[in-house]
Structure 1
């Protein structure tokens, strides 16, 4: 399989899916979204793969949405915005429902939609220097499509703060609120993730699969198609709103949004 925005390798029953757009801080666009969905679907059905690591090249893990993609979205109709958001929602669900255990290996800053990628994984490990931010409200938007996964990962109380304030917070804080499972030094990231992966592949593949399903089935809110439609509609509505358009425009034009004047 050939990918243009990802590097995908398989060795010793472990697949590594690496975001490979370091020049844009691994911000994703429609191509990245479709390739991530394809990669996790394909690897999830590969009997030779027992675990999947989601990693990234460069200093940042993922900066969220690509600027050129945001520029295109600014001119989308409501129907186009909904379809676009559903593609992102479906990709996140593909990662979340992947039958193989997934580990996010976070070597740098992780913002906005990048936090959705992490939250959709089963286990998340980050370096001490990594920062996190749910920055959507700064642009007049909301983290709608990633919300089912981020809220599950960090909890309602923490989400209430960071969804509303768009504050940047540290890896230590992300660990405290439960978004991360472990924080380590940059030189320890590889060994820590390798240790987790070794534990995963040492267990019964079917038991691991069923245990993952068990956890998902026991939580209160299933990620249903109705939920995806709801979150996609919310982001489509707010993208088309006055503040949504103003927030994106001010960000792209490198000026303060009108509500700060």
Structure 2
């Protein structure tokens, strides 16, 4: 792929078709600064058009995923002149995060979150826009905004999409913190590991499955899933049928069906069994 953007808050490593993104501000439990938001946005913009990258794995350094927004950025915004709407520095700060998390949510790549330690506020929102979320035994999840006198403005819609309005109300309005087991029960994460070794095993299994699935078909499927509930069902199914017909006629469709008949892995699966 082309050279990755230079990042000061993120560590980036390419391993085959996977980009590993490590949030690297361990001294503040990986709190999300404006710089980090900009760097995450630049990274996801870069890989969106790169067909060699099929999955992005996000995790945090130092035992924490992300503890939420950076208080220093908020203090800095408070020191600026404020106005209404887009001129307001708090608006710009908050909205920049929302644009980034929407970008991650709509990425055509398979986004995998490895959640450990603090998964709070913006970090909680980032976990909720992953396609696959694996929690370690130390993970604690929460929406503490209301207990701080603010609101989960940009993450709330994604939390509702993830776990439904009823559970989102309870978490947001009580400012609760929950453990990995309850997060799995609610559907915030899909799997809970009991050790670092098991985290690596579960991640390896997920990435192996990514390799089995055709990249273009995966991207089209993800886009289709995001349209559910936002369009009329009849129109959505009409469009989906058109996408299906195009997929069948595509190079991927031809290779996939031929591989099935010949009882061999498709080319995009590489050397997996």
Q: Deviations over 1:96-146 (max 9, x none)?
A: 111111010112221111011111211111012211110000111110111
Equivalence for 1:206: 216
In the alignment, what sits opposite 2:160?
151
In the TM superposition, structure 1's runs of 4+ consecutive aligned residues that sit over 4 Å from their partners are none
CA contact (8 A) 2:101 2:125 kept: yes
Aligned to 1:28, the other structure's residue is in SS state: coil
Partner of 1:87: 96
Partners of 1:212 and 1:164 in 2: CA distance: 30
Bigger CA radius of gyration: 2
Whether contact under 8 Å (1:125, 1:182) holds in the other structure is yes
Choose from 8, 12, 16 the match for 1:4: 8
Q: 1:70 pairs with 74, 77, 86, which one?
A: 74
Indicate how the Cα distance of structure 1 residues 144 and 190 shifts in structure 2: closer, same or farther if over 3 A, else same. Answer: same
**Distance (Å, rounded) in 2 between the aligned partners of 1:66 and 1:21:** 11
Equivalent position of 2:199 in the other structure: 189
Shift of 1:73: 2.9
Q: Distance in 2 between matches of 1:84 and 1:146?
A: 14
Q: 1:219 to 1:16 in 2, by over 3 A?
A: farther
Unmatched 5+ residue regions in structure 2? Answer: 232-273
SS in 1 for 2:189: coil
**SS of alignment partner, residue 62 of structure 2:** coil
| 1:85 positional shift | 1.6
For residues 77-226 of structure 1, the aligned pairs below 5 Å read 77-78=82-83, 79-186=88-195, 187-220=197-230
Q: Aligned in 2, Cα 1:219/1:182: closer, same or farther, shift over 3 Å? A: farther
C-alpha contact (below 8 Å) 1:105/1:124 kept by paired residues: yes
Given that 1:51 and 1:201 are in contact with CA atoms closer than 8 Å, whether structure 2 keeps it comes out as no
What CA distance in whole angstroms lies between the structure 1 residues aligned with 2:207 and 2:157? Answer: 25
Shift of 1:150: 1.3
116-125 or 23-32: which moved more? 116-125
TM-superposed CA distance for 1:89, in Å, is: 1.0
Superposition RMSD in Å: 1.3
Which runs of 5 or more residues in structure 1 are unaligned?
222-261
1:16 aligns with 2:20: yes
CA distance in 2: counterparts of 1:150 and 1:107, whole angstroms:
18
TM-score (norm 2): 0.78
Q: Is contact 1:112-1:135 (8 Å) kept?
A: yes
1:17–1:39 CA contact under 8 A, matched in 2: no
Pairwise CA distance, 1:214 = 1.2
Q: Which has the higher contact order (CA 8 A, sep 6+)?
A: 1
Offset at 1:183? 0.8
Quick check: 1:107–1:189 contact (8 Å CA) kept in 2?
no
Q: Count the aligned residue pairs.
A: 221
Residue by residue, what CA displacement relative to the aligned partner does 1:19-61 show, whole Å, maximum 9, x if unpaired? 0111110001110000010111111221110111111111211
**Structure 1 counterpart of 2:243:** none
User: Does the residue aligned with 2:75 lie in a helix, a strand or coil?
Assistant: helix
